[in-house]
Amino acid sequence: MQQWQAVSKNKPKLLLVDDQRINIMVLYELFREECEVFMATDGAQALDMCQTIAPDLILLDVYMDGLDGHEVCRRLKADPGTRDIAIIFVTALGAVEDEVLGLELGAVDFIVKPINPVIVKARVNTHLTLKRQSDILRSFALIDGLTGVANRRMFDEQLNRDWRQCLREQYTLSVIMIDVDYFKRYNDLYGHLKGDNCLQQVAEALIGVSFRPYDLIARYGGEEFACLLPKTDLAGALHVAERIEASVQALKLEHMGSEVAQHVTVASVIPDSSMEQQALLAEADKQLYKAKQAGRARVSYGALASSS
């Protein structure tokens, strides 16, 4: 679920791009044990795969029919969603000017055919190590220091990625907004240290709900949390929301200042291709307000609300 938890455990994703299958198979045999290897035989296919699998590193042939490696690189670097993917050019030409052009386009390295397996493995491992170290460092900047779940920055970045994929593949994207009822009263009554502990326990309860690897839980701000659920319709989002409420209720955290007991309120809305990202969040926030106005401790969605 949370991306940083998988940074040091998952195999790196390596994309091999070459219009000669024999070249791809040679590289595949070199890396199939250490990497999750993907293969593309032309530039257009490579661009599509970068959108769907987000490889950690690409070994990219320069000269191919249709879109050549240089053009593929230009397009990847022009797209905010793919510009950070590391690219190593692989080519039969070893002239200095070819290497200079590749580096100017944004490649991190340059390998000349026929490949030397020892050199190729060393260079690929070097760049995959750098990528993994960068991911680990970056992950710390995306974690909420108090609760250990994703922070608002991570939520916004993931929403951008999920939104683009949602539009591209025409599937639904659900957002659940979660708010701890009467949290200001909780802080006033029990103190801020207890309030911090309350948020930590709520976050643990959310993490304890069974999520898929690509779902995300984040601290949205203050006592608010948010869940991103790609490929989830309204019925699925409601099921998750109900599990979240049950998990938090099971904590049985004392809150003598609450008028409804310690619960969270949840709002969910499913976007379509005509909605903008901010409209999605605004609608989720509106439903959260409706849930609070209707008595708190409930799930609210669309024009309906149900107590829980």
Question: Contacts by 22-25 with C-beta closer than 8 Å and gap 24+?
Answer: 23/61, 23/90, 23/113
Alpha-carbon gap, residue 241 to 291, rounded angstroms? 13
Is residue 166 within a helix (H) or strand (E), and if so which, with residue range? helix 152-169
Please state, in angstroms and as integers, the Cα–Cα distance from residue 208 to each residue in 70, 165, 211, 250, 261, following that order: 46, 27, 8, 11, 21
Pairwise CA distance, residues 252 & 242, whole Å = 16
DSSP line for 196-260: HHHHHHHHHHHHHS---TT-EEEEEETTEEEEEEET--HHHHHHHHHHHHHHHHTT----TT-SS
Label residue 148 left, alpha or beta by phi (over 0 means left) and psi (-120 to 50 means alpha): left
223 is catalytic: yes
Instruction: Point out the catalytic residue in the list 71, 223, 242, 259.
Output: 223
Q: Are strands 298-301 and 109-112 parallel, antiparallel or unpaired?
A: unpaired
* CA atoms of 108 and 111, how far apart (whole Å): 10
Which residues 6+ apart lie within 8 Å of 160 measured at CB? 81, 277
Residues belonging to the active site = 223
